[in-house]
Chain A
Amino acid sequence: MKRLKFKKEKCIGCQLCAQLCSAFKEGEYVPSKARIAIETTYDNGNLKYHDHFCIICGMCAKACPVDAITVTDHIEVDFDKCIGCGACAEKCPKKVVKIRDEKAYICDTCGGDPKCVQMCPQNALTFE
């Protein structure tokens, strides 16, 4: 199964990944609603990488009390079942699940052709 992979030595912290994700999922460039968040910051004289992206581990599905999440080669959330309880977000090891308007928004790797990977300028993100 293909998964997103991140090579930090190639990341420039541009956040084009989050802009692209939101463009195709939300219809505007709004990184705060993206299903991926990779950024770099300086802290105490060191460059730190914050890499929040889905690794399709399935922890969210296991935590879901209403079976709204299914895992195949990607993750799907059934909004008819989702009650926005946040159990999935709590268990997500990459802290990438966003709860908004009582629904869970989780990366579906664009059904096998992730747009974030296409726009990653220095190929820090790959899908393999």
Chain B
Amino acid sequence: MTQTMLGYQNKVLRIDLTKKGCSFEPLRMDFARKYVGSKGLAIRYMYEELEPGIDPLGPDNKLFLTTGPFTGTPVPCSGKLSIAAKSPATGTMNDCSVGGHVGVRVKYAGYDMIIFEGQLDKPGYVLIDNDKIRFMDAEHLWGKGSHEAEKILADQYGPEYSILSIGPAGENLNIMSCINCDYYRQAGRGGIGAVMGSKNMKAIVIRGTGGVKVNDIEGTTKRLFEILRNDVVNDDNQFIFDDGTTAFLEACNDGGILPVNNFSDTTDEKWTEYNGEVLNSYRQGKRGCGSCGLGCGNFLKIGNAICEGPEYETIAVAGPNAGNRDPEKIVKFNEVCDNMGLDTISCGDTITWAMEMTESGRHDFGIKFGEADKMIEYVEKIAKLEGVGADLALGTKKASEKFGGEDIAMQVKGLEYPQYEPRGSWGMALSYAVSDRGACHMRAYAPNEEVFAASIPPYTPEGKGQMVYNLGEFNAIKFSLCICDFWGTIDYAIMSELLTRVTGVEWTEQDMADVGRRVLNIGRAFNQREGFNRAHDTVPKKIVRDALQNGPAAGQVIPPEAFEDMLNQYYEIMGWNQDGTMPDELVKSLL
């Protein structure tokens, strides 16, 4: 039997929505020893419990809310919650990470993990008050925006409770729908909101008043004082408090990776009209997640638009990528997406694709670049499946299969591109292609090396397999410890030291690397079982066909053979076959 570790609650809450019952069971410590927590643990459980070929929107899919050993402790930036399920957008595994305070509340309620199974017979929400679970009626909330629903529940239950909710998009099983928390934080990608919607579950309301025990609490806590002051709240990371992710706008624009007009170009000379300086002049306050040290959230109001953010991704997709420069409309797009329960990246990319389709005369979706008001109207249509919204609710992959324009559909495996132009950062094309849930920037963030730090030349396939692997391995363990992306200076030495201190079990730096590699592999193993292989690790044709015209990356296009070269490198490093499949012994070693 695997040794029990401190930092964990050693308890899983399993909720059967069909039977309206629940049970408690110990956490699989053998899984925790190999996958630690959060992201990795969720994927391992999914591999164990989700039969291959199940319908992501059927009763056999499950929703996994997973914390880690640091959740609920003062390890800085450790308050995030992993929400995972098989994705209705891609058919792959999908783990999302959401901030706010729900993560620590799941842990304080006494759980490492909460698993939702089956489906409610009619709209409801689940109330989790420590070890008391109640199934509540949600007829009065169904059809309401996520913000409206959260307000009703927040007024009813008060500030000690966190609320996860979906909007109309999730209710309508939209494959771009998200789950909201604390109004403005999202588990955003891969249609995770539709999984909740398919379970007829409008919301999860949770309170936890318990605690977390760790090894040597006094020594651990005193060490955390030092780490907070020396390694977290320092000059390298302070931009997160000062600017949030708006700081990336200038860096991406200057680096030639800011997408313009559905990834038709990069670099926008008007970027100062909607940059951080402009947006943050409307700031009302700051807000971070539970256990955060940095506080990236900028709560702001411009005119009648309000949001916490907007984050870089949303600024780019509703700004230059949609031909819009009006900051108020960027914020409004953000607000409406949140309230409708739509992922700003996928929804935004789908609308910018429709804009290019219309302008190029391939299909008239009735919207062109720069029509920002219409873009905001389209968000609601997409969420409610009204008119043209029903077509666009398919997302770029399925919509382009129906209407043409697959070459300009910016997606991999059915998940739309985040806002980093790969022709200005070639490794990003590989990163998007091999990401286990489709195009995601949180797996291996290539621009950091290729553009911002300029540690490796961007316009070459050389060394990109190793670079994407290194970045991916690092994020895989970091997110399995549920450490936020923005603690940029953490390293394996700090991770292993803290994990040893908290759990009371020895972890080495090599263990961190090994867990990271294992997490990358278990995601791939899940997908392989679903039929995924090299043929699905793709790049949109636009990226390998059309040269960029302007900016620092002008003239750049990724030759198809260079893309294939990067894939070959990556597979070799991962120990995969050249057809993208995994040797049987590798899969066995993960279990």
Which residues of A does B touch, CB under 8 Å? Answer: 8-16, 19-20, 22-24, 26-33, 39-47, 50, 115, 118-119, 121-122
Contact = CB atoms under 8 A, between A and B. Distances in A.
A15 B228 contact: no
A23 B214 CA distance: 10
A121 B224 CA distance: 11
B134 interface: no
Contacts of A119: 74, 224-225, 228
A121 B287 contact: no
A30 B292 contact: no
Interface centre among B74, B101, B183, B212 (most CB of A within 10 A): B74
B79 to A, nearest CB: 7
Contacts of B467: none
A14 B289 contact: yes
12 contacts: A13-B295, A16-B291, A20-B74, A20-B221, A23-B217, A28-B211, A29-B212, A32-B210, A40-B287, A45-B306, A121-B76, A122-B293
Contacts of B111: none
A46 B300 CA distance: 9
Contacts, number: 115
Interface of B: 72-74, 76, 79, 101, 104, 108, 151, 154, 159, 182-184, 209-214, 217-218, 221, 224-225, 228, 232-233, 241, 284-295, 297, 299, 301, 306
Contact of B108 (A13, A32, A121): A32
A22 B218 CA distance: 11
Nearest to B296: A12
Contact of A12 (B154, B184, B287): B287
B291 A19 contact: yes
Q: How would you classify the secondary structure of chain A's contact residues: helix, strand, loop or mixed?
A: mixed
A31 B108 CA distance: 9
Contacts of B306: 45
Interface centre among A42, A43, A45 (most CB of B within 10 A): A42
B295 A12 contact: yes
Which 4 pairs, one residue from A and one from B, show the smallest C-beta to C-beta distance? A30-B211, A12-B295, A12-B288, A121-B293
Contact of A14 (B151, B214, B284, B292): B292
A102 to B, nearest CB: 18
B228 A121 contact: yes
Contact of A30 (B101, B108, B151, B294): B108
Contacts of A46: 284
Given A20-B221, A41-B159, A121-B228, A28 B292 contact: no
Given A24-B218, A47-B287, A122 B241 contact: yes
A23 to B, nearest CB: 5
Contacts of B289: 14
Nearest to A23: B221
B483 to A, nearest CB: 14
B287 A13 contact: yes
A41 to B, nearest CB: 5
A20 B293 CA distance: 13
Nearest to B159: A41
B50 to A, nearest CB: 32
B1 to A, nearest CB: 25
Contacts of B101: 13, 15, 39
Contacts of B284: 46-47
A58 to B, nearest CB: 28
Contacts of B297: 12
B234 to A, nearest CB: 11
B293 A14 contact: yes
Given A12-B292, A14-B290, A19-B291, A118 B299 contact: no
B285 A16 contact: no
B74 A9 contact: no
Contacts of B217: 23, 27-29
Given A12-B295, A43-B154, A23 B74 contact: yes
B221 A26 contact: no
B288 A118 contact: no
B186 to A, nearest CB: 14
A19 to B, nearest CB: 5
Given A12-B295, A121-B294, A28 B285 contact: no
A12 B286 contact: yes
Given A16-B292, A39-B101, 8 more contacts: A12-B292, A12-B295, A14-B291, A20-B221, A31-B211, A32-B108, A119-B224, A122-B295
Contacts of A12: 241, 286-288, 292, 294-295, 297
Contacts of A24: 218, 221
B221 A121 contact: no
Contacts of A32: 108, 209-211
A8 B184 CA distance: 20
B209 to A, nearest CB: 4
Contacts of A19: 72-74, 291
A15 B208 CA distance: 14
